[in-house]
Every structure is written in C-alpha cells, then in structure tokens.
A and B are shown apart, each in its own frame.
Chain A
Amino acid sequence: MNATPNLNDLKPNARAAAGDVVLSGAEVLLRVLVDQGVEVVFGYPGGAVLPIYDALFRQNAIRHVLVRHEQAAVHAAEAYARSTGKVGVVLVTSGPGATNAVTGLVDALMDSIPVVCFSGQVGVPLIGTDAFQEADTTGITRPATKHNYLVRRAGDLARVVHEAFHIARSGRPGPVLVDLPKNLTVGPAPYQPASRAPHPSYRPRTEPDREAVARAVAAMKGAKRPLFYTGGGIINSGPRASEALGRLVRMTGFPCTSTLMGLGAFPTTDRQFLGMLGMHGTYEANLATHGCDVLVALGARFDDRVTGRLDAFSPDSFKIHADIDPSQINKIVQVDVPVLGDAGRIIEMMIEEWARQSEIPDSAALAQWWQQIDAWRGIRSLHFEQDMTPSAIIRPQHAVRRLYELAMETGRDTYVSTEVGQHQMWAAQHFQFDRPNRWLTSGGLGTMGYGLPAAVGAQIAHPDALVIDIAGEASTLMNIQELGTIAQYRLPVKLFILNNQYMGMVRQWQELLHGSRYSESYSAALPDFVRLAESFHARGMRATCVGELDDVIRAMLAEPGAVVADISVAQDENCYPMIPSGAAHNQMLLGPEQDGEVKVSAEGRMLV
C-alpha cells in the first residue's frame, strides 16, 4: 500500500508565534493514545498515514507491530483486546488499507470486541475527487463499526480520539474507526486531555434495575429444571464477572451451558458445566436447553447457531435475558424478564438477591433434574474411538484432546485461537478452558483466517504464554502471510493445523445436504507446510499417524520459537453432535450412523 511520499510530509512542524512547539496532528494522536493507555498498535503504513508513522518513529511509548495485511492487523488487535480486556488499536492507510480492514471490523462488531482503527484519508481538499488511494471509508465502514468518524477539523482531533476509545470499550463493546485526512495529521492540532463530561447522546446503561433482578431471581428460586446459558458478554464484562458467575452457579447448584464466545467464563472442566450448546453443542446442553423450565441467559444473544429451529427453542421455559444491549432483548426470542445492564453487575446483584430472598429452592426437583442431565451425559455425545495402532490415521478430536492434555502438562498459561470450521468446533468441544480470555475465536462472523493473526495479537500481549492457533489447512492459508509477522517479532506462536485436505465444514454440509457432491471444497495444491514454516524462519513438523502425534506435540510445545505443526487427520471425519439446519435441540445427530436419518426441510436447506 506504499505510495510516493508527499513533499508536504517533510515540512517542519508549525510553530506558534511565542516559540512554543505546536504539536502536529500525528503527535497529538499519539499523545492521546498514550493517555488512553495504549501500548501496542497493529498496523501497516502507506501514503496517507506516513505522518503518523513518522511520529511513531520518533517516540518510544507506543510499540508498533507491522502485520502483513490490514485484515490481520484487526484480528491481531481483536485477540489483543480479548485476551487482555484492553482496547485493541489498528493503524492502516487510506483506500485499500481501510477496505482490507473491513472484514476485521465486522468480525469485531459481531463478537463485541473493543477495537479502535485509525485509517489515513486523503487531505480534506481532495476528498470526493477520486484521489489516489481515496475511498469513502466512513461510508464503507458505517455498518461495519459501532461508530465511526471522519475528522475534518484539527480542533476536533483529540476529542474524537478520546471519544472513540470511550465508545469502543463502554456499553456493548465494538469497533470504532477514525478516518484521519492527511492534512490534519501533518498540520498543527491542539492537544486536549480526555473530557470528564458525559457524552451528550451516548449513555449506555450498565447498572441493572434491582426490581428486574429480583423478579429474575424469584423465578430462579421457583425453578424445578433451571439452566444458565452464558455468553461472551460475561467475558467482555471482565474477569470479575466470570468470578461472580462461578459463585452464582455454585450457590444455586444450577447446571450451566455456554455459547462459543462464552467458553472459559465458567470452568469447562467443572461438574456443573454441561458443555457448549447449539449446533455442535453437547447432547446434555441441548437437551437441557430444550427441557428446562427456567432459562437464565447471561450476556448471550440467542444466535441462530444456538437456537436452532426457533419455534422449538426451549419451548416450555420461563426466560430471563440479561444483556447490556437493549436491541438484543426480544430480537430473536421473546423473554419473560429482561434485565438491562453489565453482565457482571447483573450476576453480582443476582447473588445478593439469591441470598436476600427467603424462598427455599426446590432441591428435590433440582436433584431430579441433575439425574436427568446425568442420564443425557451418559450418552457421551463427544465420544470418539481412536485406533491407537501407531500407523492408524489420526482422528482430529484425538489430536485436540492430546494437544490439550500435553499443553496442560507444561503448566503454562495457554491461549488458544482458531480459524473457522470443523477444527474450530473440535477445539471448542475438546480443549478445556478454566479461565476467561484464553479462548480466541471468530464466532458471529465466522471469519476463516482469523486464527493466525489472532495468535499474533495474543502473543504480543502475553509474551511468555503458550499461544496456539488450532487451525484447518484451508482457513489458515487465508492469512498465512502472518508467518512473516511471527518471524519478525520472534513470536513463539504454535500453528497446529488439523489437515484433512478439505474445507471440512463445507465438505460436511455437502455430504449431509447436497448428496456428497464436494463442489470446490477439496484443498488442492496445498503447500508443504513444513517447508513453508522453514521459509518463514519457523520450525516445521509433521505427524501423519497416531504413533507420531504425541512426539510432534511435545516437540512443538518444547520448541522455544514458532512452530507450524502439520497434523494429517482423517479426511472423512464429520463434526458431531450436530443439530441440522432447521431442526430442534431434541433432534440432534449424534454420529455418522444417523446421517441417513437427516431429513433437512426445504426451509432448513435455505438456512446457512
């Protein structure tokens, strides 16, 4: 995205009459970033942001991480944000720099990740003239962001940048883009500290209404078959919310399931955890969702991957929905008690109310409910058989299980990112997360190519942690260029590829819905991942059979630098259990033996 520098870049900073150094817009930007606690920026330079890169060059407070593609900058910033609770920051140039970032911005929007993206723009006088590398970035990113700005006056710069951080991190978090015309970053601009005045129109509600919480808790006290359904909102609320969730689940004795985005908020190894719910959730989680009489949704949004067929979703339950975003209430599923506010605050207030309300819960009914759940558990819906003959083909579930077990043996703090597809679901099912912020995945948008740049962001944030991208060979090729970033910053990222030589989830759907016509889903002409790794100064490893798997995983975990581990796995493996499109939670497929029973309705076939 490099363009010939404009001669104006070389102009010295404007000086005020009194001789004071007046900061340039670029310098003001960096100063505000420091005010906002920014330590790292993920970006890629180009003509319209050269003044900002020049200012970055002349300071040490903020570290810049050079990615290899702007989409990767946003995913890295997302993972940085998700794994630290801070705002991720992105810097891209105008035109193609900004358009390349769009996928990442929508990804952050769908998963409520706080990101601030700064994009260069042609100078204000050139806007609208089809100038070189000009794009209507605010127009393009309006539906891709929580909010965006085009800064037209230098006097607005500092205020807008402060505001962008406030909007990105508060309420329901999300991406905010600030488009910066080049003349503003070159020219002088006044610095301002963050304003303490409330925003005139944007005032998200975080403190829940006590009365609503009391009604919710009264319903929970009277429940015979209760269930907590927890989501990414709890992770977004911060570690305190997860800690409070643990207390609430234990004090109530209720079972708890989680969405993909919420994994880790409640320990997935806990007995009260039923596993993930939804399309590839466990049998017990989905049957409990279907059969519960009180459903307590906390920071979750009834996504279609969770609900399945809507008119059959948890049909007999009294529904409580706690969410910070009023637009999520009654959007998909009509609820009985909505509670608006921060998930963590709501959970804390529920704990208070649970202790305050004197009604005694029906422990006999709860015990019976647990018996029912344990019976469902007995089905062992995630079970698979791995032939342990050394030459046997590796089943992908086994690879993830062994990766988890051997990673735990290291005792290291472990962060897992994923790409999108079958491997993502197997990682969600078979890797365990006992703490929040360790699981980095693209849920809402389902962005293939998310995982490798996300691993970059997580490793930058946690240099001493073990960071693994559980990948598929097709997805990871979408952002494989980030091996360059990994090499440049000597990031010890482990890229663990479950290589089945197919876009596995596409292949699975083609098998189930389209008569096994594998249209364009075969990964032809794959690179040699071992030599690819070596060409990017990383270690390449390969396991082709069960006998090699543990040794490769151990070697990968022991390697101080970056590793690409190419794990050949069974090509025909499908991801189970599965709720076929348009089916209800109690119509799950548990394994291939039931494939013949798939009767996807015409409506179901039209669903994604």
Chain B
Amino acid sequence: MTTQEETTISAVISILVENESGVLARVIGLFSGRGYNIESLTVAPVEESRHQSRINIVTSGTPQVIEQIKAQVGRLVPVYRVSDLTTLGPHVAREMALVKVVSSGESRTEALRIAEAFRARAVDTTATSFVFELTGATDKLDSFIDLMRPLGLAEVSRTGVAAIVRGPRTI
C-alpha cells in the first residue's frame, strides 16, 4: 500500500451469494488468504426460491483495504452483489446474544434487574442460573456482558452482526 499510516475504519460488508456448497469457504478463504480481518460473520439463506444467501461480515482496515475487500469478493463467481453498508448511508446492525449467568442471592437479583434495564429476556431459568436473550447493537451487547461479568457470567453465545440499510434502498 502506498501510505502506511492510513486510518483503520470498521465496515459492515453484506454479500449476496448463490446458495451452493463451498460458497462460505470461498468468501472466508479469501479473507484469510489475503490477510483481511473478520470481526464477525453471519450467514443464512435469505431468498430460498432463488437459492440466495446473505453473508454479513464486520471487518476493519484502511479505506483502500475495504475497497479491495469489496473488489476481491465481487469477483468470486457465485457472488451476486457486495456492498459496504457503512458507505451506503445509515444502516441498522444488530446481533443476538445468549448469556448464561450462574449466581445466587444478591448477584442473582442484580443480574435480573440489569437484564430488565437492557430488555433482555430470561429464556431459561433454574434455581442457580439464567440464560438471557438479548438483541441489539454490538456495543449494547458488549456492555451487558461486561455488567454480567461480576454477577456470575458463565458462558456467552453470540450470532454476529446482521445488517441492512435504512430507508427504501437495498444493496
């Protein structure tokens, strides 16, 4: 790259792909092979009738690297469209977390109180544990998990980011 000291930015890349075997491996293999970051990744079929899946990747790099990522992904044969949502205008990015908290007494009550404040749902409850389900932006999930840490945080499972552009525009 011509200039070394360019600022690193975060980007949400959404990729519409042909839903065929190996397509995810092509995309993530390209990221690892060319040394691009993957901070989170989600993939699921979105247009069953047209055999299309959508991959959302949160990545970071210089603006030049983000452009390269788009161009490199775009030339994969089963890729229909690739968009950087961060440059398309405002977008909604959400993820879901399942958070297991094992505690009793004061901590347990406190965990439940914080969960309510975050609008997390207790989807599983035992005498000694909760599993909270929480949906929101990544930083909201991060702060919830941080708050649970001293209250008996035992396990976390997160989906990674699903994202979409606000307003009538599509990718």
Contact = CB atoms under 8 A, between A and B. Distances in A.
A142 B18 contact: no
Of the listed residues A139, A143, A146, the one surrounded by the most CB atoms of chain B closer than 10 A to its CB is: A143
A334 B67 CA distance: 12
B78 A329 contact: no
Interface in A197-211: 199-202
Of all A-B residue pairs in the complex, the 10 with the closest CB atoms, nearest first, are: A327-B71, A147-B77, A202-B77, A201-B80, A326-B71, A327-B72, A143-B33, A201-B18, A327-B75, A201-B78
Contact of A138 (B1, B22, B64, B78): B22
A464 interface: no
Nearest to B75: A327
Nearest to B21: A150
B2 A310 contact: yes
Q: Which of A201, A331, A332 has the most CB of B within 10 A?
A: A201
A258 to B, nearest CB: 23
Nearest to A167: B77
Contacts of A325: 75
Contacts of A559: none
B143 to A, nearest CB: 37
Given A327-B74, A331-B68, 10 more contacts: A139-B22, A139-B25, A142-B26, A143-B30, A143-B33, A201-B17, A311-B2, A326-B75, A330-B64, A333-B2
B18 A334 contact: no
B79 interface: yes
Most chain B beta-carbon contacts within 10 A, residue among A172, A202, A310, A327: A327
B150 interface: no
A330 B71 CA distance: 10
Interface string A319-345: 000000111011111100000000000
B29 interface: yes
Chain B interface size range: 20 to 34
A330 B77 CA distance: 21
Interface string A135-171: 0001100110011001010000000000000010001
Interface residues of A, number: 26
23 contacts: A138-B22, A142-B26, A143-B29, A146-B77, A147-B77, A150-B22, A152-B21, A171-B75, A199-B77, A200-B80, A201-B18, A201-B80, A311-B2, A325-B75, A326-B75, A327-B68, A327-B71, A327-B72, A327-B74, A327-B75, A330-B67, A331-B71, A334-B64
A199 B18 CA distance: 11
Interface of B: 1-3, 17-18, 21-22, 25-26, 29-30, 33, 64, 67-68, 71-72, 74-80
A44 B72 CA distance: 33
A333 B1 CA distance: 7
B150 to A, nearest CB: 44
B67 A201 contact: no
Nearest to A329: B71
Contacts of A150: 21-22
Contacts of B2: 310-311, 333-334
A150 B30 CA distance: 19
A199 to B, nearest CB: 8
Contacts of B78: 201-202
A26 B30 CA distance: 33
Contact of A201 (B21, B68, B79): B79
Contacts of A330: 64, 67-68
A171 B75 CA distance: 10
Contacts of A202: 77-78
Given A200-B80, A330-B64, A333-B2, A142 B75 contact: no
B18 A200 contact: yes
* B17, B26, B33: residue with the most chain A Cβ atoms closer than 10 Å: B26
B123 to A, nearest CB: 35
Contacts of A142: 22, 25-26, 29
Contacts of A331: 68, 71
Nearest to A202: B77
Nearest to B79: A201
